[in-house]
Chain A
Amino acid sequence: MAQSAKRDVADIVFAALTAISSMTIIFLVTGILVVLVSESSLSIQKFGILKFLTTTDWDPVRENFGAASTLYGTAVTTVLSMLFAIPIAIGIAVFVTEIAPNFLKGPIGVAIELLAAIPSIIYGMWGLFTLAPIMTKYIEPALQQTLGQLPFFSVLLEGTPMGIDLLTASVILSIMIVPFTASISRDAFNLTPAVVKESAYAIGATKWEVVKNVVIPYSKLGVFGGVVLSMGRAIGETMAVAFVLGNNHQITSSLLDAAATITVSLANEFSEADTDIYLSSLFYLALVLFVLSFVTLFIAKVFLLRAERKYSR
């Protein structure tokens, strides 16, 4: 080990250099937390914690700020995009691991990875100029005429379809997070021992029954970790939704209304904030977002680590 190697000055210097470099991670995490707390202290003092989180008002003119409307936007887009993305991502993982003939496994895998590599601003552009018009013209009116006739959905789908709304943002977000969920689920599925699957086949199970009763239960920790990880990404995604959400601070029951998420308000308002309390409140929003996504990502990591430990036994 290291101790047995000859220790000269250069070695100590190099070791110290690497140690300091790795400490930057700890410095960054604590630094971000400290800076965000101190920058938002003005707003924390004025609005408190519970009051800030539950106030729907976001009024730069009267200098009254609350995070509820943006938290609502973040929650709705995240939940909705997860609803769209999870079934598709699991389907892709099942296809790639169990169904696809070998010559298709590669191309689909690459396609999924490329989808994950496309920068979010491209999704945003595409959403604004291509998806939003399609949503306005075809999908949203069609939804209104079918689902919109049902009692509960009529509230969700009321209003004039404009394309710049919660629904469009959620669709783009779901396309963005499918690759993350799919590739982690695929890795988890792949770890199911062949022997376990083969024994299920041997007693006459169909392919779907093997997936449903053997593969998914076996890999549920990993899949769940992947889902939570994508949720963390969805909470913090900025540019893909900034184009199509309209940054309108309001809580609406209709998914066809413009809204704001924490990230979208930060992107749109940060460089325009003209008063101290306004800027401080934006830092406060950033702090809320940081804590929210850090906790989510930490939970995801715990699940993924537990999955890893389980499989390596």
Chain B
Amino acid sequence: MTHETKRKIEGTAALLLSTLAAFSGLFWLIFILADVLIHGIGALHPSLFLNDPAPAGVSGGGLKNAFVGHLMITAFATLVGVPIGLLGGTFLAEYARGKNISKVISILADIMVSVPSIIVGTFIYALMVRPVGHFSGWAGAIALAIIMIPVVLRTTEDMLSLVPWTLREAAFALGAPYYKVIVQVVYRGAATGIFTGILLSIARVAGETAPLLFTAFNNSFFSYNMNGPMPSLTVSVFQYAMGPYDDWHAQAWAASLIITIFILFITVAGRLLLKWRYKH
């Protein structure tokens, strides 16, 4: 075999392997999504949304309480996490732009984005659950907010940095104080990007389970009381999937399907929004 053909064969083989790798990525995605879809659709039933859990082993129960609980925990987490993340990102990109403190916080936030979420759960357990002696929806919401803050902070910082500095100078020239420049000019310029960041951070926390396990815990009854244990879809999925009943497994699949659709929808919407905004 000549050197030439050897190089060609080696090249083709390597390219073939990486093509295979790419399609294996696609294969897993389709496999997992199809599996969740097939199992989930079979178990989708109005009672899932309309009924609260039935006693263990009795069929006909639903997860209404978990849907409401999940919505409430996520909503309060968003209410706490988004403003702090947004303002924090503003500080890094505006008042502290280019300063060392900004770089340090930025790096720490990047690390916090990837820190295991179960750690946040243990942290909140020590701060908010053990002192009062019971699990609570508030603890769950704060745990999720803590996961949200670094995500929103980093995207806000990046998006504000994309707004041209000359735009601010134009506003300064009109005599506007810095906070007015930020709120009325910079935020407007970066609105789509910031909004996308918020969407993606909601998608990120909506699927979290680990930080809720010992903060919001679970509750098989319907409850609006954020001060007591609060059910959530993800924790219910974990509990039901590990349980012994087929009916529980079916409900876990259905809940998984809903979570997956919700999160993938937000993720795709966010990406499309970004693409549409920054394609020029």
Which B24-42 residues have a C-beta within 8 angstroms of A?
A: 24-26, 28-29, 32, 35-36, 39
Starting from the known contacts A36-B122, A237-B116, 4 additional A-B residue pairs (CB-CB under 8 Å) come to A96-B22, A182-B25, A283-B126, A286-B122
- A238-B25 in contact (CB<8A): no
- Which residues of B have CB within 8 Å of A111? 25-26, 29
Smallest CB separation, A226 vs chain B (Å): 12
- A88-B238 in contact (CB<8A): no
Contact with B along A85-123 (1 / 0, CB 8 A): 001111110111001100000001011111101111111
- A25-B119 in contact (CB<8A): no
- B118-A266 in contact (CB<8A): yes
Give the docked Cα–Cα distance between A94 and B19 (Å): 8
B7 touches which of A121, A123, A209 (Cβ 8 Å): A209
B150 at the interface (CB under 8 A from A): yes
List 26 A-B pairs, Cβ < 8 Å.
A5-B176, A5-B177, A7-B177, A11-B177, A11-B180, A23-B88, A25-B112, A28-B149, A35-B126, A36-B122, A90-B21, A92-B21, A92-B22, A113-B271, A118-B32, A125-B36, A207-B11, A208-B12, A208-B15, A229-B114, A236-B119, A243-B242, A263-B116, A266-B118, A289-B119, A297-B110
B91 touches which of A6, A18, A122, A128 (Cβ 8 Å): A18
B105 at the interface (CB under 8 A from A): yes
Give the docked Cα–Cα distance between A229 and B113 (Å): 11
Give the docked Cα–Cα distance between A297 and B109 (Å): 11
Top 5 A-B residue pairs of the complex, sorted by shortest distance between their CB atoms: A119-B207, A91-B21, A236-B116, A18-B91, A21-B87
- Which residues of B have CB within 8 Å of A187? none
A22 touches which of B24, B92, B121 (Cβ 8 Å): B92
B32 touches which of A7, A123, A182, A267 (Cβ 8 Å): A123
Smallest CB separation, A4 vs chain B (Å): 7
Give the docked Cα–Cα distance between A172 and B181 (Å): 48
Given contacts A88-B24, A125-B241, A270-B125, contact A22 B87 (CB under 8 A): yes
Given contacts A128-B241, A267-B213, contact A119 B234 (CB under 8 A): yes
A271 at the interface (CB under 8 A from B): yes
Give the docked Cα–Cα distance between A74 and B252 (Å): 27
- B238-A121 in contact (CB<8A): yes
- Which residues of A have CB within 8 Å of B245? none
A206 at the interface (CB under 8 A from B): yes
A190 at the interface (CB under 8 A from B): no
- B22-A122 in contact (CB<8A): no
A211 touches which of B7, B14, B120 (Cβ 8 Å): B14
- B207-A95 in contact (CB<8A): no
B267 at the interface (CB under 8 A from A): yes
- Which residues of B have CB within 8 Å of A5? 172, 176-178, 181
Nearest A residue to B207, CB-CB: A119
B237 touches which of A15, A125, A232 (Cβ 8 Å): A125
Smallest CB separation, A272 vs chain B (Å): 10
The interface residues of chain A, by DSSP majority, are classed as helix
A220 at the interface (CB under 8 A from B): no
A6 touches which of B26, B90, B175 (Cβ 8 Å): B175
Which A205-224 residues have a C-beta within 8 angstroms of B?
A: 206-209, 211-212
B111 at the interface (CB under 8 A from A): yes
A10 at the interface (CB under 8 A from B): yes
A125 touches which of B8, B109, B203, B252 (Cβ 8 Å): B252
B118 touches which of A17, A88, A175, A267 (Cβ 8 Å): A267
- A263-B210 in contact (CB<8A): yes
- A121-B234 in contact (CB<8A): yes
- A208-B10 in contact (CB<8A): yes
B263 at the interface (CB under 8 A from A): yes
- B105-A4 in contact (CB<8A): no
- Which residues of B have CB within 8 Å of A28? 112, 146, 149
- A25-B177 in contact (CB<8A): no
- A118-B118 in contact (CB<8A): no
B110 touches which of A96, A126, A301 (Cβ 8 Å): A301
B21 touches which of A13, A87, A271, A282 (Cβ 8 Å): A87
